[in-house]
Structure 1
Amino acid sequence: METIRKLTGPGGEFELREEDVLGARLPVFAGRARSLGEVLTRSVSYGDRDYLVTASRRMSFAEHAAAVASMAKALRDDLGVRPGDRIAINAANSPEWIVSFWATIAVGGIAVGYNAWWAPREIEYALGHTDPKVVIADEKRAALISEDVLTIEKDVPSLMARYPDARFEIPEVAEDDPAVILYTSGTSGRPKGAVHSHRNLTSVIEYHRFNDAMMAAFGMDPSTRRYLLALPLFHIACLHNLAVPRLATGTAVILHEGGFDVDRVLGLVERERVTNWGAVPTMAHRMVEHGDLSKYDLSSLTAFSLATAPSSPAFKARLQTAFPPAKGGLVDSYGLTESCTAISTATPADLAEAPGTLGRPTIGVQLEIRDAGNRPVPEGVEGEVCVRSAYNMIGYWRDPEATARAFDEDRWMHTGDIGVIEQGRLRLTTRRSDLIIRGGENVYPAEIENVLAEYTGVRECIVIGAPHPDLGQEVAAVVVANGPPPSPEDLAAFARERLAYFKVPTRWHITADPLPRNATGKVLRKQVEEAVS
């Protein structure tokens, strides 16, 4: 398209050119900021415009900058935080979460987003793994943490106001220095910390600015956009692809606090004239089941996207019937925590022309389907989805072996997902081996199996995903007892003490029969799934 060529060609505002990135030649945006600190400093120019809005509060860009500068000075001067130190945030969504994130950036630290649904054992592992200088938590999560914390409710507001005349003193960083660590469930039983650099995040910002420029080219004013943030901030969907880029573009983030409630969320959309909303299929399903939504004025909502979990063409059709903003504005996407942003996005036209596909690669993303020998295959042939871009994480925190498995020597990232290219669009045929996606949260069976194996009286077990009408999948466990069979209630209580609630099995099959295995001793997972379905 001519518009894209002008924007991304030589001299264009979003010129793409090849540069060396961690030993590979990759397409990069020439005009990107060189650090998130630079993005933060520039945001002051947006002044009194809304940045963060909740049901009861409003924070302008100027107020946000003052709060961040004050908290950064307190972290540096009073708490001794130095560049490269980790600051962990374990809390539900709030403006203080976002201020804490940017204050970490302002002192040259690395912001670590902990999953706010973790159980104490998972939190203890992450504390040892990332060794944070400071831990910030809301009171609910602070009660689960064994060491001193700064509370979201009291301490963070105090630090935000402690130095009202503070100015930014942001240390210099290299583009490929770590800026953020977000955890993703581990295939081998431990969460892995995906490390995202300043370059990763500033590249994501340019991707969103490019999308805004495309809107402007078609006569739409991106400065009037108002974005609903209703997913957890410890995910890339809302941190990397909403809170961060909107600080750069000067557009409002409408922050929903608390659990998802259809009436509260749609009331917020109506009152704040939200224009853009990215949801998980479980949210969309609850709206479809909610009943008549016509009592809400949703005319401002012109873009509605689904992410983090697959959804069928049949469900998308139901959604478009029940939820008017999804008619013409619905998009779907595919991405990973490791990819920082969408690997591909399906536009309304894509969904109409090729239902079930996930669109074409995001600008700046190189995508190939590869065979078992790591060789690219032609269009129409199934294989592993491999991607390379300036968005991809730099690696896993303190896990060189996992990093080496994820990347080959040319910085191609192996997703583990199986797919095929059809007329330039990506279609996934199998998500990562054994992965369960429950309400948008990734659940790896190995982690749960390792916990259940610790229970006295469990000889062996296997965890599988079972279809669920609301969540997409629920977690099911087949447990082989060694002696008197344990009760599902006892097993669930045992798991609940050690795992986040969404990982605890809700369906149990307890038996004395050994699990079926092949000649090499591997459990025949498909056979188990068929037997208990």
Structure 2
Amino acid sequence: MSAPPDPQAYLDQVITELTGPGGVFEVAEEDVLGARMPVMLGRRASVGELVRDSDAWGDRDYLVTRDARVSFAQHRAEVAALAAALRERHGVGRGDRVAILAANSPSWVTAFFATQVLGAIGVGMNAWWAAPEVRYGLEHSTPVVVFADAKRAAVLESLAGDGVLDGVTVLTLENDLPDLVAQYLGAPLDLATVDEDDPSTILYTSGTSGRPKGALHSHRNLLAVVDYHRYNDGLAAAFTGRRYEPTEPSELRYLLTSPLLHIASLHNLVVPRLATGSAVVMPEGGFDVDAVLSLVERERVTNWGAVPTMAARLLAHPDVEKYDLSSLRAFALASAPSSVAFKERLKERFAFARDALVDSYGLTECSTAIAAATGPELEYFPGTLGRPIITVSLEIRDPLGDWLPDGEEGEICVRSPFVMLGYWNDESATRAAIDDGRWLRTGDFGVVENGRLRLTGRRSDLILRGGENVYPTEIEQCLDEHPDVDEAAVVGVAHPELGNEVAAVVVVRDGASPNEADLRSFVESRLAYYKVPTRWRITSEPLPRNATGKIVRTRIEA
């Protein structure tokens, strides 16, 4: 391909060759659940096929931790063995739910792909959930099997007496999973027959009603994400003078630092690498700057997608320069918004962020990014989140659902093969989020300028704390259960590292005098740690309300 002198003209030429008739990523309109939309034609039919086809990568690294190295061949064999064990020992089949309640590990990944081979639905449960939240997740998803690490198995054991685990098999990742793999090693990879619009995965996202909602993703959703990442590899190859060959393994090595129960780590990192032959480098345990950078140096990591909180901790570290980070060629910020000034500080401090920094906008319900901005776009259009990615249609709409022209602020609505099937076991929430034309109302507000999206407001009342979604209603309902609390309001307060911290204003009942420690302990026993308020104001004055009785959050002083 001869390169035109105009970079934009060259980009258009590359995209046409990749996505046009006969291209590796040919795009055409098809019917998806009753709506016409652009899709890639050369796609696989099920996530299990990714495991089957990973044979091509043989003994190359797939999953790497500080102390372990799992090849693609080993991973495929272990997934086949575990799938056979789940089918024969525990009767797991198409449509059954298999939950995973654990911290990141190679065994988490093995358990997930075993569910996909069987046509079952993998349920990523939040490893930070407190016991009442775990109970809700079990009651909501009704799994037949739960994989848990030792720490979370203890939480499950504490729930065993109330009947929530009746009929549920609990298997530990440390002992039961390796035992089953050893017993069935050598079993053939027997793929279940599924439709591409069958459910594949449930990942929980907080809801404004106060209860987590289960975003239900199809095989089509995950495979569309895979092809999006392969397409990006094709673009990168063209811009470095190479021809993209899908049968050749990628030499990129990706750092995984977010929980596997998030789309950033599961859908957009672990799953696509089966199709590209790339390595996933996985630190285990809490985020530790030195441990992470040691792995980057040792494993020559090339790509890292970090939440802004992690990036802030990098900036605060006094001795980052002692590590050789020269292998990093792509550094993305994801999961939470970050300011222009913050990005500038990253670029000033770190060479790997100067030319490689990218930003994006997405949400669990969409499986991957909705829009993405490259380094040059961030330079020339500060605050942008870039253009919609391939096969994504984006509209800004007014409160009546009518399209708004560029430059006008409204709700961000999207349609694509990435959009979830709906919310598991919640038809009313699904109808409220997805219309008959398969357009998803994100609940976020933005404006399109120069063809690029700029976010102007997050979902109503949402607090983004270190990349985690925190909805006030859930915490307020928890505080309402305290015998000394009359009412409570929870808001986000700016925090230099986390983006926002959780603040609570608590109105106490007449004659009561709970202190901050009492209230914090009460919430800690019921909710994940990141939802526990770190700032408190205890008062006897009623909360500000409007004429209809709703709390006016803008008038709350935390």
TM-score class normalised by the smaller sequence: over 0.9
% identical equivalent positions = 61
Q: SS at 1:409's partner residue?
A: coil
- Code of the residue aligned with 2:267 in structure 1: it is H
Aligned to 1:494: 522
- Code of the residue aligned with 2:322 in structure 1: it is K
Give the whole-Å Cα distance in 2 for the aligned partners of 1:354 and 1:157.
Answer: 51
Q: For residues 130-168 of structure 1, give each alpha carbon's deviation from its aligned partner in whole angstroms, at most 9, with x where no partner exists.
A: 100100000001111134521111111112222121111
Q: Is the 8 A contact 1:452 1:461 kept in 2?
A: yes
Aligned to 1:54: 65
2:546 is the alignment partner of 1:518:
yes
Alignment of 1:91-490 (within 5 A): 91-145=102-156, 146=159, 147=165, 148-219=169-240, 223-483=250-510, 484-490=512-518
Give the whole-Å Cα distance in 2 for the aligned partners of 1:457 and 1:273.
Answer: 55
Shift of 1:51: 0.5
Give the whole-Å Cα distance in 1 for the aligned partners of 2:211 and 2:387.
Answer: 32
Q: SS at 1:421's partner residue?
A: strand
Q: SS at 1:203's partner residue?
A: helix
- Code of the residue aligned with 2:464 in structure 1: it is I
Give the whole-Å Cα distance in 1 for the aligned partners of 2:66 and 2:187.
Answer: 29
TM-score with structure 2 length normalisation? 0.94
- Code of the residue aligned with 1:17 in structure 2: it is A
Shift of 1:485: 2.5
Superposition CA RMSD, Å: 1.0
Q: For residues 387-406 of structure 1, give each alpha carbon's deviation from its aligned partner in whole angstroms, at most 9, with x where no partner exists.
A: 00000101000000000000
Aligned to 2:4: none
Of the candidates 80, 84, 102, which is equivalent to residue 91 of structure 2? 80
TM-score with structure 1 length normalisation? 0.98
Q: For residues 450-498 of structure 1, give each alpha carbon's deviation from its aligned partner in whole angstroms, at most 9, with x where no partner exists.
A: 1100100211110000111111111100011112231111111111111
Q: Is the 8 A contact 1:383 1:419 kept in 2?
A: yes
Shift of 1:220: 7.0
- Higher mean Cα deviation, 284-293 or 388-397? 284-293
Give the whole-Å Cα distance in 2 for the aligned partners of 1:59 and 1:267.
Answer: 19
Give the whole-Å Cα distance in 2 for the aligned partners of 1:36 and 1:97.
Answer: 16
- Code of the residue aligned with 1:152 in structure 2: it is L
Give the whole-Å Cα distance in 2 for the aligned partners of 1:62 and 1:459.
Answer: 59
- Code of the residue aligned with 2:72 in structure 1: it is F
Q: Is the 8 A contact 1:308 1:335 kept in 2?
A: yes
Aligned to 1:509: 537
Moved over 4 A (4+): none
State how many pairs are aligned: 530
Q: SS at 1:411's partner residue?
A: coil
Q: SS at 2:492's partner residue?
A: strand
Give the whole-Å Cα distance in 1 for the aligned partners of 2:274 and 2:255.
Answer: 14
Shift of 1:115: 0.6
